[in-house]
Structure formats: C-alpha cells, structure tokens
Amino acid sequence: MTGVPCLACSNKMLCAIADALATDNIDQALELGLLDSFPEIVNGVCRECDARTRIIIDAREARLHALAARERYRTREARLTERAESRARKRASVTPQTSVAAPSLPPAAAAALARAKARVAAKQRAE
C-alpha cells in the first residue's frame, strides 16, 4: 500500500465490520451494519481492503440468503397451518347424513336368525 490510504481503508465502519467477521463475531458485524453495507461501491481499493470487502460481501450475501430462507419457511408454515385449519373447519361443518339404517345382516342371514329365534322361543314355551 502507498502512503495514501485507499477509500476502503479510511472507512472505519467497513474496517470494523471486517474485523468482526475475521473473529467470527457475526452479532457485532450485524450491529455495525453488515446487512446495510455496500463495500462493492468503493472503487480503487488496495489489495488488503479488496480481501476485506470480499469477506464483507460474502458474509452479507450469506446472511441475506439465510434470512430469505427463514422468511420462505415461515410463509410455508403459515400456509400449511391455514390449510390444516381449513380442513378441520370443513370436517367439523360436515354433518353425518342420517340415512335409513340398513340391516346389519344380509337378508338370508337375517331370515336364518329369525328362524333360530323362533325355534328357541318354541322350545321355551314347550318346556
């Protein structure tokens, strides 16, 4: 680097964000404005600052991507919850239809059962 610092070297905020990222302190980098930083608009950076800006850009993009994924997940969960509630409401509103109760036995079995009951009743009367 020459005696004159580049524009990124003189930007204390970018240096502080890069230092926080270098120590894996994402929370501090976020508090310092990681998501709102745009180091790519700084032109004429030195080699050291070029590496710093690349780290900031990569970290910002990864964080924005994660935040977008979290929002998609929350939207999906809300949509699935709404569908489940809608289905539950539909199930609750549908009343079972009361139809004429069909005999539980087929006609031939019902007739055989009736004959058996008649025989038992006849035996009981005969005794």
Q: pLDDT by residue (tens digit) across 90-114?
A: 888 876 665 666 658 888 888 999 9
In a domain, 66, yes or no: yes
Fill in the DSSP letter of residue 97.
Answer: P
In a domain, 17, yes or no: yes
Using 50, 70 and 90 to split pLDDT, how confident is the model at 37? confident
Task: Annotate 98-112 with DSSP letters as a single string.
Answer: --PPPPSS-HHHHHH
Has residue 26 got a pLDDT over 80?
A: yes
- Asked whether the whole model's pTM tops 0.85, one would answer no
Its domain, for residue 28, covers: 7-93
User: How many residues comprise the chain?
Assistant: 127
Cα dist. 60→2, 12, 21, 87, 91 in Å?
A: 29, 17, 10, 41, 47
In a domain, 114, yes or no: no
Q: How many domains does the chain have?
A: 1
Cβ-based neighbours of 49, under 8 Å, separated by 6 or more: 6, 8, 9, 14, 42
CA-based nearest residue to 58, from 48, 66, 68:
66
Using 50, 70 and 90 to split pLDDT, how confident is the model at 34? confident
Using 50, 70 and 90 to split pLDDT, how confident is the model at 54? confident
Has residue 45 got a pLDDT over 80?
A: no
* Residue 72: per-residue pLDDT: 97
In a domain, 120, yes or no: no
Q: pLDDT by residue (tens digit) across 73-84?
A: 999 999 999 999
CA separation for the pair 3, 13 (Å, rounded): 21
Using 50, 70 and 90 to split pLDDT, how confident is the model at 1? very low
Mean pLDDT score of the chain: 84
Cβ-based neighbours of 42, under 8 Å, separated by 6 or more: 6, 7, 8, 11, 14, 49, 53
Has residue 11 got a pLDDT over 50?
A: yes
In a domain, 126, yes or no: no
